Structure 1
Amino acid sequence: MSDAALRPHRRESDVNGILDPSRYPLASVTLAVAAVIVITVVGFMLGTVDLGLSKALNGLHTGALGALTTAVYHVISPGPAIGITVVVVGVIWWRARDLRPALVFGGTIAITWVPSAVVKEIVHRARPDVGVLPHPFAVQPDPGYPSGHTVYITAFVIALVWLLRDSRWHHLAVTLGVVAIVGVFFAVSIDAVHYPTDAAASILWSVAVAPGVRVVWVDWLMPRIPFLRPRVPGEAARVSR
C-alpha cells in the first residue's frame, strides 16, 4: 500500500484553517453579544479612573521610544489599516486560489472593528486631558473608548492565526501577533491618545467578538451563498450542524 493511501484524507478546511466551522457556534455568538453589552456599559463607568497611569506612561514619550509609538499610531490609523487589510486579502486570494479564506479574513476584521466605532460614539468617553500630560499628542477629535487601533490589530492577529492554523507558520504568527498587540497597547497608551483601559477593553472586545463574527461568516452565511459554499463533500453538513 502506498504512503499516499496510508495518509489520512485532508479536508479543504485543513488547508485553510480559517474555514473550519466553529465547535461551539451558539456559545461564540452569545459571548460576542454579551461582550459588546458589557464593554459598552463599563465604558460609561470609567471616567478618568486611570488618568494617573496615562500621565505616567506618557512621561515615557521621549526620544526613540516616543518616535516609535507615534509611528505605530500613524501606521495603523484607519486609512493605512484599511489599505494593509486589502493588500493582505489580495495576497491570500492569490496564494490560496480561493476567494473564501480571503473574504473570511477581511470580513472578520471589518465586522469586528467597525461596530467598535459605533460604541465609541455611544459611550463618548473623552481622551486623556492634554492639559495635564507631560508630552501631549495632537488633540484627537473623536472619543477614545474603545481604541479602534487596538481593536483592529487584535482582530487582524486573530484572523491571521486562524488562517495559518494548519501551517508551519502558526506558532510564529501567534508569537509575533502577541508582540504586535502588546506593542499597540503601549503605543496608544504612551502617546496618551487613549487611556490604558481604552486599549485593554479593545483587546477584550476583539478576543470575544471575532469568534462570533466568524461563526456568522463561516457557519451561517457562506453555506447559503452559492459561490462561497463548501466544496468538499460532507463539509457543508459539518458547517450546518
Structure 2
Amino acid sequence: MDLAASRQQGTSLGLRSWYWIPAGIIIFAGAVAGGMTAKSLGPFTPELGLDITLSHGRSAALVGISELINYGISPPGAIVLSLLLCSWLWWGRGMPLQAVAFGSVVAVGWLSSTVGKILVSRSRPPGEAVTALVPETRLDSFPSGHTAFATAMALAFVIVVARTRAQRIVALGLGAAGVILVAFSRLYLGVHYLSDVAGSVVISTAAILAWLPLWNNLIAPRLARTALIARLERAQPHDP
C-alpha cells in the first residue's frame, strides 16, 4: 500500500476484502462455541488444575505486577489509556485519521469480549479452590476482558501505528509479550481459566478482522473527506 492510501485509510495494513467479515464472524462463533463447551465441563474442569498450581507459593513480586495490571487496565484505566494514545496520535503526531482508526480497533476488539461474556455466561474459577486474590462473582469468566483489551491494543499498534514491515514485526513481538503477560496475570490472580484468556485473543482478533473492511472501505474514506480531518492532515507534517 502506498503512503497516500495508508493515510486515507488510517491504517498501514489493507485488509479491505469483504471476505474478512464472514471470516471474522465464523472465527468469533467458533470461539464462543469453545467457551460454551468449556463451560459445560463445570467449574471443576481439568484446566482448573493450572490455576490451583499457580496459586501455590505465589511470589509477592508477581502478585504486585498482576494486581497492577488488574487495576491498571480495568475499564476506567483502559479508557484513559486509549484516550491518551489517541490524543498522542491526533495532536502529538498530527494524524487525526489514524487516531480515530486506533480508537476504533481498540474499541471493537475490547468490546467484543463483552458480547462473548453475555453469550457464554461462564462462572469464575471457584475462589476457595484457587485462593482468588480478586473478588469476582459474576458469570463473565469467558472471555477475559483484560486479555481482550491487551490483544486489541497490540493489534492496533500493528495495524495503525506501525508503518513499515520492520515496525510491524517489532510491534507484533512486543504486543504478543504484553498479551501473554496480561493473560498470565489473570490466571495468577485466580480469576480466569486458561480457555478464558485463550478465547479472548481469538474473539478480539476475529472482531477486528470483521471490522477492518468496514473501516477501510466505508468509514475512513468518508472521514478523510471531511473538512476537519482534511484541514488537520494538511496542517501537520507526516513521517516519510
**CA RMSD after TM alignment:** 2.6
Equivalent of residue 22 in structure 1, options 6, 14, 17: 14
Aligned equivalent of 1:44: 36
Q: Distance in 2 between matches of 1:212 and 1:122?
A: 18
The structural deviation recorded for 1:121 is 2.0
Paired residue secondary structure (1:26): coil
Aligned equivalent of 1:136: 132
The structural deviation recorded for 1:114 is 1.2
Between Structure 1 and Structure 2, whose CA radius of gyration is higher? 1
Q: Distance in 2 between matches of 1:65 and 1:201?
A: 23
Q: Is 1:171 equivalent to 2:169 in the alignment?
A: yes
Contact 1:16 1:164 in 2 (8 A): no
Aligned equivalent of 2:158: 161
Q: Distance in 1 between matches of 2:214 and 2:226?
A: 17
**Alignment of structure 1 residues 142-153 onto 2, 5 Å:** 142=138, 143-153=140-150
Equivalent of residue 219 in structure 1, options 200, 217, 221: 217
2:34 partner amino acid = V
**Alignment of structure 1 residues 180-191 onto 2, 5 Å:** 180-191=178-189
The structural deviation recorded for 1:27 is 2.4
Paired residue secondary structure (1:19): coil
Seen in structure 2, the aligned counterparts of structure 1 residues 53 and 16 have a Cα distance that, compared at 3 Å, is farther
Q: Is 1:101 equivalent to 2:101 in the alignment?
A: no
Paired residue secondary structure (1:178): helix
TM-score by length of 2: 0.82
The gaps in structure 2 that reach 5 residues or longer are 231-240
Q: Is 1:79 equivalent to 2:76 in the alignment?
A: yes
| Bigger shift: residues 188-197 or 37-46 | 37-46
Equivalent of residue 50 in structure 2, options 47, 50, 53: 53
1:25 partner amino acid = S
Contact 1:32 1:211 in 2 (8 A): yes
Aligned equivalent of 1:195: 193
Q: Distance in 2 between matches of 1:169 and 1:99?
A: 20
| Bigger shift: residues 75-84 or 40-49 | 40-49
1:40-79 deviation line (CA, Å, top 9, x unaligned):
2221110343111221123253321122112111111111
| Bigger shift: residues 81-90 or 43-52 | 43-52
Q: Distance in 2 between matches of 1:71 and 1:16?
A: 37
| Bigger shift: residues 82-91 or 217-226 | 217-226
The structural deviation recorded for 1:195 is 0.7
The gaps in structure 1 that reach 5 residues or longer are 1-8, 232-241
Q: Distance in 1 between matches of 2:12 and 2:172?
A: 18
Contact 2:124 2:137 in 1 (8 A): no
Q: Distance in 2 between matches of 1:229 and 1:211?
A: 28
